[in-house]
Chain A
Amino acid sequence: MSFATPLENEHHSLGASFTDFAGWQMPLKYDSDLTEHHAVRSVAGLFDLSHMGEIDVTGPDAARFLDHALAGEFTAVTPGRAKYSLICNEDGGVIDDLVAYRLGADQFLVVANASNAGTVFAELTERATGFDVAVTDRSQTTALIALQGPAAESILLTLVPPAEAAAVQELKYYAATTATVAEIPVLLGRTGYTGEDGFELYVPNENAVDLWRALLEPTVRAGGVPAGLACRDSLRLEAGMALYGHELSLDITPFEAGLGRVVRLNKKFVGSQALQKIADTAPARTLVGLVGTGKRAARAQYAVHDAYDPNSVIGVVTSGILSPTLGYPIALAYLDSDRSRLGSTVLVDVRGGKLPFTVVKPPFYKRS
Chain B
Amino acid sequence: MSEISLPENLSYTDEHEWVAVEPGAALPADPVRVGITAVAVDNLGDLVYLELPTVGSTVTLGEACGEVESTKTVSELYPPVAGTVSIVNTAVVDDPELVSKDPYGEGWLFAVLPSEAGELLTAAEYAEKNGVDA
Q: Which residues from chain A sit less than 8 Å from chain B, CB to CB?
A: 29, 32-34, 230, 234, 295-297, 299, 321-322, 324, 351
CA distance A230 to B72 in the complex (A): 8
Give B132 Cβ to nearest chain A Cβ, in Å: 16
Q: Known A-B contacts: A299-B74, A322-B48. Give 10 more (CB < 8 A).
A: A29-B45, A33-B45, A234-B71, A295-B48, A295-B49, A296-B69, A297-B49, A297-B69, A321-B71, A351-B74
9 A-B residue pairs with Cβ-Cβ distance under 8 Å, sorted by A, are A32-B46, A33-B45, A34-B71, A230-B72, A296-B49, A296-B69, A299-B74, A324-B71, A351-B74
Number of chain B interface residues as a range: 10 to 19
* Contact A33 B46, beta carbon cutoff 8 Å: yes
Give A48 Cβ to nearest chain B Cβ, in Å: 19
Give A34 Cβ to nearest chain B Cβ, in Å: 4
B125: interface (CB < 8 Å): no
* Contact B45 A322, beta carbon cutoff 8 Å: no
* Contact A34 B46, beta carbon cutoff 8 Å: yes
Give B43 Cβ to nearest chain A Cβ, in Å: 10
Residues in A whose Cβ lies below 8 Å from that of B72: 33, 230
Report B29-52 CB contacts with A as 1/0, cut-off 8 Å: 000000000000000011011010
8 Å CB contacts to A: which residues of B49-64?
Answer: 49, 51
Q: Give the A-B pair count, Cβ closer than 8 A.
A: 29
Q: Which residues from chain B sit less than 8 Å from chain A, CB to CB?
A: 45-46, 48-49, 51, 67, 69, 71-72, 74
Residues in B whose Cβ lies below 8 Å from that of A297: 48-49, 69
Give B126 Cβ to nearest chain A Cβ, in Å: 21
Residues in B whose Cβ lies below 8 Å from that of A230: 45, 71-72
Query: Which residue in chain A gives the minimum CB-CB distance to B100?
Result: A32
Which 3 A/B pairs are nearest by Cβ-Cβ distance? Answer: A34-B46, A295-B49, A322-B48
CA distance A34 to B49 in the complex (A): 14
CA distance A295 to B51 in the complex (A): 11
CA distance A32 to B42 in the complex (A): 10
Residues in A whose Cβ lies below 8 Å from that of B74: 299, 351
CA distance A322 to B45 in the complex (A): 14
Residues in B whose Cβ lies below 8 Å from that of A32: 45-46
Query: Which residue in chain A gives the minimum CB-CB distance to B42?
Result: A17
* Contact B67 A351, beta carbon cutoff 8 Å: yes
Give B4 Cβ to nearest chain A Cβ, in Å: 14
CA distance A222 to B102 in the complex (A): 31
* Contact B67 A322, beta carbon cutoff 8 Å: no
CA distance A166 to B69 in the complex (A): 47
Residues in B whose Cβ lies below 8 Å from that of A33: 45-46, 71-72
Residues in B whose Cβ lies below 8 Å from that of A351: 51, 67, 74
Residues in A whose Cβ lies below 8 Å from that of B49: 295-297, 322
